[in-house]
Amino acid sequence: MEILYVLIPLGLVLVAFGLWAFFWAAGDGQFDDLDSPGWTVLEDDARPEPTAPPRPPDEVPPQ
Amino acid sequence: MTAAGTPCFHCGEPIPRGLVIHARVSGRDEPVCCHGCKAVAEFITGAGLGDYYRYRDTSSSRADETPRPDRWAAYDRPELVERLTRAEPNGARSITVLLEGLRCAACSWLADKALSLQSGVLDVSVNPATARARLVWDPAKVRLGDLLRVLEHVGLRPHPLAGEPSEQVALLERRTALKRLAVAGFGNMQVMMFAVPLYFGDAGGMDPAMREYMRLVSMLVSIPVALYAGWPFYQGAWHALRARSISMDVPVSLGIVLAFVASVWNALRGHGEVYFDSVTMFVFFLGLGRYIEMIARHRAGSVADALARLAPVTARRLRGGQVQDVQAVELAVGDELLVRTGEVFAADGVVLEGEGRVDESMLTGESAAIAKPPGSLVHQGTQNLAAPLKVRVAAVAGNTVLSGIVALLERAQAERPRLAKAADRAAAWFLSRILVGAALVFAVWWYVDPSRAFSATLAVLVVTCPCALSLATPTALAAATAALARRGVLVAHTDAIEALSKATHVLWDKTGTLTKGLVRVEEVRPLAELSAAQALAWAGALEQMSEHPIGRAFLASGQPAAAASGVEVHAGRGLEGLVEGRRLRIGTRAFAAELQADQAGGTRPASVPGGDAAEESWVYLGSEQGLLAAFRLTDPLRPEARDCVAGLAALGLRSEIASGDEAATVARVAARCGIDAHAARLAPADKLARLKQLQAEGAVVVAVGDGINDAPLLRGADVAIAMGRGSALAQTSADLILVRDSLEDLPHTVLLARRTQRVIRQNLAWSIGYNLAALPLAALGFVPPWLAAIGMSLSSVVVVLNAMRLSRGSTPRRRPEWPAVRQPEVA
């Protein structure tokens, strides 16, 4: 049972490391948006870039 | 011909019968409901962003406003942009933009892509959770105004948030809360692990040194949990005590501190109970509940955001005969402003020139436009519908009527009087019982054995406080909040769950809650040889000159046509004017038909239903040759409204309508929803009076609203519910927000609130009962340690499992069903 005197501090070090990693991730904004990154993989990479950036059509307001 | 009931490809709203407009999307013609939606759908697919329609999971908002390129003109001027935005390295600028209509991850993908495709855009990050986008661009390559126009063209209404430090503050707050939660979670897991041998060790003959070691390690792990993760509770309690009141944070903090101090004391001196497991679990579950609540509140947005959406950031100032675009904050009393048709007033002022008609619905709830001849007052945030006005500024910034309302709301939100009161009662009840109990124990022990009085009293406080309060309530509330969020019901204040479970009445504001809140052309019926589109175009041309809400329904649906000339308004009957050389009339049937010289030929079209006339209003277009077309206008009832009212009635909640609308309209809607009690033509103050009257009779009232004029009602109600597409100001005063903009989930929400209260009561009864039964027995030595250990852990597990029942049976609902046409095949 004496091995616990080593194993528990070792476990605590691991926990501390995990917490440090979590703090880093939170501070880096990894948890700010959990929805949209999932959608980016669905995007077609091969889409040809439009030759000219789309411009809003020049609309004439009524009146 | 469009099949009746086909939804619009873009926004999903039903297409007016008889109207055929198609948008060219990925080489196919898709039916849309109006030209606004057509423009948006074609722009989106034209930019190569058609994937949006494959991935979105809710329909988009209706593009009922024709984009006005000049709306963003002020953002094209570099010197103004410089003051409104933040500087970034290498000469770039950044701004945070609130995106109205951003509802799902696909929408944020769309905004991201549409902006990234523009040259000169350096970075875009869109956060769907808060509906905000941060833009970084190179002002040398692209103008901010163009970027805002792009956003508007993909159907998202941008609201630039000038300066906007609050968003950054909110982000940091969320991150910090997440970190605290992580510390509590990790800590709790560790302490639980050490608690098992402490509970069971005695049975297995653990040696005392190991036991000591375990207790000290538990203490070590609990220190950051109690100090760092629990810090917000101490802060809250301190604020409450300084304000000479008691909030929920007070007993919570007392529980944490006492249990923690007692445990540390016992751990250091080597004997007595330790409660590190209770402390950490307490902090974790409370923190979890608070975290979910905070996310919901941030999503609902702050009052400052609401103001940003209502008041324009720029204005057009007249100085020395020249018109300048200036920031609204630069305006001073006495400045002269030019406000064009469709623009929103940037300040309160007096009309100098022009015959104005102003939409003040956001302040008063009155949907008809109000005439503003020279000399009358106009208010910040209201919209000029008619001729351009010259206005002299009378009040700016903090002195306008609008900012007065906002300030009032902000204060109400900060003080949360109604909620605090409910929490006060609960906290005071607990506190008084616990403190009296502890005092009694102390007195008795002082008499019996003074040396043990302190530890015994601590034990009583520690054991009663965390066990009764810790897991029972927070776990149930956290589970209920999460379950509701999955169904699209955001809980901004968890205290509302308790009130909702006791609710007896529901007070509806009709427009926008029971109905959709938008008058639209539901059907076009040509009565002569002409197409529906042609009829709509002519009607639109005439109605362009009108400020009546009906007129706006035509403008939203119709194609902008040649302007009408010589338009005369016949009050209460309709309009007459020349369009493309034709004399046309639009209005009541008799009025439109009278234009025909030969009255006898004006047969009443057999197809025009008489029975429906009670429910919807028909508007007729007539020429000198006779009636040309009939238009059916409705503010459509939400399809689920009737079921919702019936569902609530089955739960014992009486519905009542308090509306500012016409008596006939209100009565009609009430009849169709199955509501007996209704009152019409009520000002916001009258609605509030009705609410107070109900509350005085002992009712617990739920108010459902969507507009700014509902904000006082919502604030006064026991539970305030706002619609997801309603005004931002209404959402900030709401406890619950129906994000999906559907009433479907309301009865279920009430049911869940009641189940939550039941679970809380069961949990409290169980934990108090267990402690009352087990403590004296254990103290007197009747319970062996292993049995106490099993009982203690079982007690916690029972409470948590019982709470988790709330999230069961509320798995996300079926996805909205879209007809096949709305899923274009991949080209």
Per-residue pLDDT tens digits of chain A, which is 63 residues long: 788 899 999 999 999 999 999 999 998 888 877 766 776 666 655 444 444 444 454 444 444
Q: Mean per-residue pLDDT for B461-479?
A: 63
Q: What is the pTM assigned to this prediction?
A: 0.58
Using the CB atoms, write b or e for B449-461: b if 16+ within 10 Å: eeeebebbbbbbb
Cβ-defined contacts of B578-581 (< 8 Å, 24+): B579/B538, B579/B541, B579/B542, B580/B538
- The predicted structure's pLDDT at residue B156: 76
B436: distance to nearest CA of chain A, Å?
A: 40
Q: Does B128 touch chain A (CB under 8 A)?
A: yes
Give the C-alpha separation, B55 to B651, whole Å. Answer: 37
Q: What is the pLDDT of residues B208-245, one digit of tens each?
A: 888 889 899 999 999 999 999 999 989 888 887 887 76
Chain B stretch 61-90, residues whose beta carbon is closer than 8 A to a beta carbon of chain A: 66-70
Q: Does A45 touch chain B (CB under 8 A)?
A: no
Of A4-18, B25-39, B70-84, B230-244, highest mean pLDDT:
A4-18
Q: Which residues on chain A are in Cβ contact (under 8 Å) with B341?
A: 63
Q: Mean per-residue pLDDT for B181-185?
A: 94
B57 is catalytic: no
Q: What percent of chain B has pLDDT over 70?
A: 69
B687, B711, B743: which is the final residue of a domain?
B743
On whether the CB atoms of residues B497 and B652 are closer than 8 A, the answer is: no
Q: Does B43 touch chain A (CB under 8 A)?
A: yes
In a domain, B592, yes or no: yes
Q: Which residues on chain B are in Cβ contact (under 8 Å) with A35?
A: 105, 108, 128-129
On whether the CB atoms of residues B607 and B706 are closer than 8 A, the answer is: no
Confidence category of residue B3, pLDDT binned at 50, 70, 90: very low
- B594 and B719 share a domain? no
Give the C-alpha separation, B122 to B110, whole Å. Answer: 17
- The predicted structure's pLDDT at residue B824: 39
Q: Which residue of A23, A36, A60 is in closest CB contact with B179?
A: A23
On whether the CB atoms of residues B237 and B249 are closer than 8 A, the answer is: yes
Neighbours of B645 (CB within 10 A): 25
- The predicted structure's pLDDT at residue B593: 76
In a domain, B478, yes or no: yes
Neighbours of B591 (CB within 10 A): 19
Q: Any idea what the CATH number is for the domain that residue B155 is in?
A: 3.30.70.100
Q: Under DSSP, is residue B197 helix (H, G, I), strand (E, B) or coil?
A: helix
- The predicted structure's pLDDT at residue B455: 60
- B204 and B293 share a domain? yes
Contact state of A56 with B112 under an 8 Å Cβ cutoff: no
- The predicted structure's pLDDT at residue B817: 38
The pair of three-digit structure tokens given for residue B505, joined into one six-digit string: 């009445």
B634, B654, B675: which is the final residue of a domain?
B634
Q: Any idea what the CATH number is for the domain that residue B546 is in?
A: 3.40.1110.10
Of B293-302, B403-412, B735-744, highest mean pLDDT:
B735-744
Give yes or no for residue B447 having a pLDDT over 80. Answer: yes
Chain B stretch 217-276, residues whose beta carbon is closer than 8 A to a beta carbon of chain A: 217, 220-221
Give yes or no for residue B177 having a pLDDT over 80. Answer: yes
Q: Which amino acid, residue B432? A: S
Q: Which residues on chain A are in Cβ contact (under 8 Å) with B145?
A: none
- B235 and B94 share a domain? no
The pair of three-digit structure tokens given for residue B27, joined into one six-digit string: 């080489």
Confidence category of residue B823, pLDDT binned at 50, 70, 90: very low
On whether the CB atoms of residues B361 and B381 are closer than 8 A, the answer is: no
Of B57-61, B463-467, B821-825, highest mean pLDDT:
B57-61
Of B54-63, B108-117, B294-303, B601-610, highest mean pLDDT:
B108-117
Facing residues of B622 across strands?
B585, B627
In a domain, B699, yes or no: yes
A62: distance to nearest CA of chain B, Å?
A: 6
Contact state of A35 with B171 under an 8 Å Cβ cutoff: no
Contact state of A42 with B128 under an 8 Å Cβ cutoff: no
Give the up-direction half-sphere exposure of residue B157: CA atoms within 13 A in the CB hemisphere: 17
Q: Which residue of B66, B106, B125 is in closest CB contact with A39?
A: B106
Comparison of pLDDT for B657 and B361, the residue scoring more: B657
Max distance between CA atoms of chain A, in angstroms, equals 88
Q: Does B387 touch chain A (CB under 8 A)?
A: no
Chain B stretch 515-544, residues whose beta carbon is closer than 8 A to a beta carbon of chain A: 544
Contact state of A54 with B129 under an 8 Å Cβ cutoff: no
Give yes or no for residue B174 having a pLDDT over 60. Answer: yes
For residue A35, the chain B residue with the least C-alpha distance is B105
On whether the CB atoms of residues B740 and B488 are closer than 8 A, the answer is: yes
Contact state of B127 with A53 under an 8 Å Cβ cutoff: no
- The predicted structure's pLDDT at residue B176: 92
Chain A stretch 20-39, residues whose beta carbon is closer than 8 A to a beta carbon of chain B: 22-23, 26-27, 29, 31-36, 38-39
Q: Under DSSP, is residue B752 helix (H, G, I), strand (E, B) or coil?
A: helix
- The predicted structure's pLDDT at residue A7: 92
Cα-based distances in Å from B737 to B297, B643, B728, B731, B757: 10, 19, 11, 7, 20
Q: Which residues on chain B are in Cβ contact (under 8 Å) with A34?
A: 129
Q: Does B588 touch chain A (CB under 8 A)?
A: no
- The predicted structure's pLDDT at residue A20: 95
- B648 and B501 share a domain? yes
Give the C-alpha separation, B332 to B393, whole Å. Answer: 7
Q: Any idea what the CATH number is for the domain that residue B705 is in?
A: 3.40.50.1000
Of the candidates B495, B509, B661, B718, the residue annotated as catalytic is: B509
Q: What is the pLDDT of residues B497-533, one digit of tens each?
A: 888 888 899 998 877 788 876 677 777 888 877 777 7
Q: Output helix, strand, coil percentages for chain B, rounded to the nearest 5.
A: 50, 20, 30
- The predicted structure's pLDDT at residue A11: 92
Q: Mean per-residue pLDDT for B595-616?
A: 46
Chain A stretch 1-20, residues whose beta carbon is closer than 8 A to a beta carbon of chain B: 1, 4-5, 8, 11-12, 15, 18-19
* Segment among B178-187, B247-256, B455-464 with least mean pLDDT: B455-464
- B736 and B758 share a domain? no
Give yes or no for residue B187 having a pLDDT over 90. Answer: yes
B354, B376, B402: which is the final residue of a domain?
B402
Q: Any idea what the CATH number is for the domain that residue B315 is in?
A: 2.70.150.10
Total CB pairs under 8 A between chain A and B: 111
Q: Mean per-residue pLDDT for B606-611?
A: 41
- The predicted structure's pLDDT at residue A12: 93
Q: Which residue of A40, A44, A53 is in closest CB contact with B118?
A: A53
Contact state of A59 with B146 under an 8 Å Cβ cutoff: no
Confidence category of residue B42, pLDDT binned at 50, 70, 90: confident
Q: Does B109 touch chain A (CB under 8 A)?
A: yes
- B531 and B510 share a domain? no
Max distance between CA atoms of chain B, in angstroms, equals 111
Look at chain B and report how many structural domains it folds into: 5
- B341 and B377 share a domain? yes
- The predicted structure's pLDDT at residue B602: 44
- B766 and B790 share a domain? yes
Q: Mean per-residue pLDDT for B772-791?
A: 62
Q: Which residue of A23, A32, A43 is in closest CB contact with B51?
A: A43
- B334 and B364 share a domain? yes
Quick one: CA torsion of B393, B395, B398, B403, rounded to 10 degrees? -90
Element spanning B338, H or E = strand B336-339
Facing residues of B97 across strands?
B133, B160
Return all residues near B216 (Cβ < 8 A) that are at least 6 apart: B267
Q: Does A46 touch chain B (CB under 8 A)?
A: no
Provide the residue range defining the domain that includes B574: 520-634
- B524 and B585 share a domain? yes
B589: distance to nearest CA of chain A, Å?
A: 27
Give the C-alpha separation, B819 to B53, whole Å. Answer: 13
Give yes or no for residue B194 having a pLDDT over 80. Answer: yes
Give the C-alpha separation, B664 to B666, whole Å. Answer: 5
On whether the CB atoms of residues B186 and A15 are closer than 8 A, the answer is: yes
Give the up-direction half-sphere exposure of residue B682: CA atoms within 13 A in the CB hemisphere: 24
Give yes or no for residue B664 having a pLDDT over 80. Answer: no
In a domain, B622, yes or no: yes
Which residue, among A2, A3, A5, A8, would best test binding to B if mutated, counting the most B CBs under 10 Å from its CB?
Answer: A8
Comparison of pLDDT for B468 and B818, the residue scoring more: B468
Comparison of pLDDT for B810 and B584, the residue scoring more: B584
- B180 and B294 share a domain? yes
Comparison of pLDDT for A26 and B474, the residue scoring more: A26
Of A28-32, B410-414, B809-813, highest mean pLDDT:
A28-32
Q: Write the DSSP assignment of B551-613 as a string of letters.
A: HHHHHHHSPP-SPPEEEEEETTTEEEEEETTEEEEEESHHHHHHTSS-GGG-PPPTTS-SGGG
Q: Which residues on chain A are in Cβ contact (under 8 Å) with B555?
A: 62
Q: What is the pLDDT of residues B134-158, one digit of tens each?
A: 888 888 888 888 888 888 777 777 7
The overall average pLDDT reported for chain B is: 74
In a domain, B768, yes or no: yes
Nearest Cα neighbor of B498 from B431, B421, B428 is B421
Nearest Cα neighbor of B164 from B76, B82, B100, B98 is B98
- B275 and B241 share a domain? yes
B460: distance to nearest CA of chain A, Å?
A: 31
Confidence category of residue B423, pLDDT binned at 50, 70, 90: very low
Give the C-alpha separation, B529 to B772, whole Å. Answer: 86
Residue with tokens 């809607």: B669
B710: distance to nearest CA of chain A, Å?
A: 32
Which residue, among B121, B181, B217, B567, would best test binding to A if mutated, counting the most A CBs under 10 Å from its CB?
Answer: B217
Q: Which residues on chain B are in Cβ contact (under 8 Å) with A61?
A: 66, 68-70, 342
Q: Which letter does DSSP use for residue B15 in this model?
A: P
In a domain, B464, yes or no: yes
In a domain, B15, yes or no: no
Nearest Cα neighbor of B462 from B484, B448, B480, B441 is B441
In a domain, B536, yes or no: yes
